[in-house]
């Protein structure tokens, strides 16, 4: 079982080499052994997971036909999960158990997914470190003194530490790709609207994209196919048919594919190991037949500025609903509700959410909205147009996932830490583009990552490129 991925476990389950109960117990034992050091989970669903595994084993003929049957997954604690504690790593949602599932978790559950637990994150997804969580920081499995990245740090750490077969994350601008790179796993951020946001506690409504974190590219393709598709609950989702990403995987398609390297992304302050491993990966891609050229792209400093304003403006709007009275207080007496209301709005939010609310409220306020938010959206449109022009000539953009390997807690004290760490992902997120981050080596025993970005709804292209490189690196 050690370090087996979703597709591998699926094959072993279908051949009856292992039972679902054995698979779940393997991961529960992994969690028991490592969780105190890593703190990847907020909630562990031990009894529920074992019961689901038992149902799979006892009803094998029916359950084995489901694509995720018997597969234990960690779910980022930003997805609504029916009757399971959903906190968004915040104090203000203490005790909140949704009465419904998010569309993503519902689709995966219908295909037999076993929820192993709810994974840790930066509070309300505000951060790139997973140290702003009310439930304590998550540590990087490769070095416990290092950060896992964020905001999907708990999911990435759980996959990296072999505490689950795969995990769900969300990305607003780097929140899947950054922790995937720092923890040495595969992270896939779909086209905005390819996967439903319904039931996902919102951070930036025009940016949020749920996606998988896995041990291989084929696992990411396998999960994405189930998650994606039109949803009547989310008017931003695409109605286009979802391809069979997993079965369509073809590393041979790299031959003749046109890949572009933005020179501005290489002018960022990259560490030596990140740059060296990136260059090695490019040589492998060339040997597989890719045509690679260096291009010019809008300076990423503009993406950083736009993201800072756009995201914080949307945060200030989305957090207004958390007033301390509507979530997690079912069945409480009047005095409890009164005391909670009087204290929680201030105490329930950590420092980072408070900063973002204040900044966002300022940029939306009378007299400043035109100067900041409106101008930011105008530049965002120029960023989209820049990417559109690139994809008229090239199939895929390739770049390092992040400028460095995992940093330390001290680095995260910088208020713009997240924007700096995510600088190579922010532009594509603002444009709503799909992106794949995958490990491509190590620097001082810490993973480095390479990312691929394609045009809207062209997920298959970057899956194919990643699939080919993955085998080229073996």
Report the CATH number at residue 430.
Answer: 3.90.1300.10
Give Cβ neighbours of residue 280 (< 8 Å, ≥ 6 apart). Answer: 440, 441
Q: How confident is the model at residue 105 (pLDDT cuts 50, 70, 90)?
A: very high
Cβ atoms 49, 70 nearer than 8 A: no
pLDDT band at 311 (very low <50, low <70, confident <90, very high): confident
Residue 376 bears catalytic tag: no
Residue 377 lies in a domain: no
Q: Is residue 141 part of a domain?
A: yes
Residue 460 has pLDDT above 90, yes or no: yes
- Do the domain assignments include residue 364? no
Choice among 133, 155, 160, 175 that is catalytic: 175
Q: What is the mean pLDDT of residues 323-344?
A: 53
Q: Is 1 a residue whose pLDDT tops 60?
A: yes
Q: Band of the pLDDT at 357, cuts 50, 70, 90?
A: low
Rounded CA-CA distance 104/228 in Å is 8
Residue 179 C-beta-side C-alpha neighbours within 13 Å: 45
User: For residue 351, is it within any domain?
Assistant: no
DSSP 8-state assignment for residue 168:
E
Q: What is the pLDDT of residues 265-275, one digit of tens each?
A: 999 999 999 99
Backbone angles phi, psi at 296, to 5 degrees: -110, 140
Burial 433-450 (b: 16+ CB within 10 A, else e): bbbbbbbbbebeebbbbb
Helix (H) or strand (E) holding 427: helix 426-430
Q: Please give the average per-residue pLDDT across 119-128, as a whole number.
A: 92
Percent of the chain with pLDDT over 70: 88
Kindly indicate the confidence band of residue 310, based on its pLDDT and cuts at 50, 70 and 90: confident
In the predicted structure, residue 94 carries a pLDDT above the cut 90: no
Burial group, residue 85, by CB count within 10 angstroms (0-12, 13-18, 19+): middle
Bridge partners of residue 186, in order along the sequence: 214
In a domain, 100, yes or no: yes
Beta carbons within 10 angstroms of residue 66's beta carbon: 17
Q: Does residue 355 lie in a domain region?
A: no
* Domain presence at residue 444: yes
Helices (H), 292-425: 300-318, 334-347, 351-364, 375-391, 417-421
Predicted confidence at residue 92, as pLDDT, reads: 86
Spatial separation of the C-alpha atoms in residues 436 and 191, rounded to whole Å: 11
Residue 401 has pLDDT above 90, yes or no: yes
**Active-site entry in 90, 128, 133, 151:** 151
Assign 169 a pLDDT band (cuts: 50, 70, 90).
very high
Number of domains in the chain: 1
- Residues 318-347, mean pLDDT to the nearest whole number: 55
Mean pLDDT of the chain: 91
Of the given ranges (54-63, 67-76, 357-366), which has the lowest mean pLDDT? 357-366
Is residue 128 among the annotated active site residues? Answer: no
Does residue 431 form part of some domain?
yes
Residues in the chain: 474
The closest alpha carbon to 167, from 202, 236, 118, 209, belongs to 118
* Helical spans, DSSP H, in 239-299: 263-266, 272-287
Per-residue pLDDT reduced to its tens digit, 176-223: 999 999 999 999 999 999 999 999 998 888 999 999 999 999 999 999
Could you tell me what percent of the chain has a pLDDT over 90?
79
- Residue 277 lies in domain: 6-298+389-473
Yes or no: say if 208 and 430 are a contact pair by the CB < 8 Å rule: no
Establish whether 19 is a catalytic residue.
no
Three-state DSSP class for residue 183: helix
Residue among 76, 118, 146, 189 flagged as catalytic: 76
């Amino acid at each position: 079982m050690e370090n087996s991925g979703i597709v591998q476990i699926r094959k072993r389950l279908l051949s009856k080499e292992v039972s679902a109960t054995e698979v779940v117990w393997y991961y529960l034992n992994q969690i028991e052994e490592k969780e105190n050091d890593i703190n990847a989970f907020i909630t562990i669903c031990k009894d529920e997971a074992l019961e689901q595994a038992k149902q799979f084993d006892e009803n094998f003929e029916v359950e084995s036909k489901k694509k995720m049957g018997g597969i234990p997954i960690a779910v980022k604690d930003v997805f609504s999960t029916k009757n399971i504690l959903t906190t968004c790593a915040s104090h203000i949602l203490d005790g909140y158990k949704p009465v419904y599932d998010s569309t993503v978790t519902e689709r995966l559950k219908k295909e037999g997914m076993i929820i192993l637990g709810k994974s840790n994150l930066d509070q309300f997804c505000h951060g790139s470190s997973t140290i702003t969580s009310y439930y304590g920081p998550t540590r990087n499995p490769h070095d416990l003194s290092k950060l896992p990245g964020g905001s999907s740090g708990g999911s990435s750490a759980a996959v990296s530490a072999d505490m689950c077969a795969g995990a769900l994350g969300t990305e607003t601008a780097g929140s899947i790709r950054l922790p995937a790179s720092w923890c040495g796993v595969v992270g896939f951020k779909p086209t905005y609207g390819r996967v439903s946001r319904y039931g996902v506690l919102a951070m930036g409504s025009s940016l949020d994209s749920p996606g998988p974190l896995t041990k291989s590219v084929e696992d990411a393709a396998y999960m994405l196919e189930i998650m994606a598709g039109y949803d009547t609950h989310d008017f931003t989702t695409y109605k286009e048919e979802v391809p069979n990403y997993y079965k369509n995987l073809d590393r041979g398609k790299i031959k003749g594919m046109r890949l572009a390297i933005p020179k501005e992304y290489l002018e960022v302050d990259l560490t030596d190991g990140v740059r060296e491993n990136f260059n090695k990966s490019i040589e492998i891609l060339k040997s597989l037949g890719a045509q690679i050229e260096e291009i010019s792209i809008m300076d990423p400093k503009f993406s950083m500025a736009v993201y800072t304003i756009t995201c914080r403006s949307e945060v200030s709007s989305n957090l207004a609903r958390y007033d301390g009275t509507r979530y997690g207080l079912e069945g409480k007496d009047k005095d409890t509700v009164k005391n909670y209301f009087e204290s929680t709005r201030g105490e329930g939010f950590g420092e980072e959410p408070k900063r973002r609310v204040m900044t966002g409220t300022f940029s939306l306020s009378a007299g400043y909205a035109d100067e900041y938010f409106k101008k930011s959206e105008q530049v965002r449109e120029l960023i989209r147009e820049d990417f559109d022009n690139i994809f008229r000539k090239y199939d895929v953009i390739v770049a390092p996932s992040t400028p460095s390997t995992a940093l330390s807690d001290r680095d995260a004290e910088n208020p713009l830490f997240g924007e700096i760490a995510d600088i190579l992902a922010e532009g594509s997120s603002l444009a709503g583009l799909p992106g794949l981050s995958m490990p491509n080596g190590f620097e001082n025993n810490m993973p480095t990552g390479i990312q691929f970005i394609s045009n809207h709804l062209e997920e298959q292209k970057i899956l194919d490129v990643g699939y080919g490189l993955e085998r080229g690196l073996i």
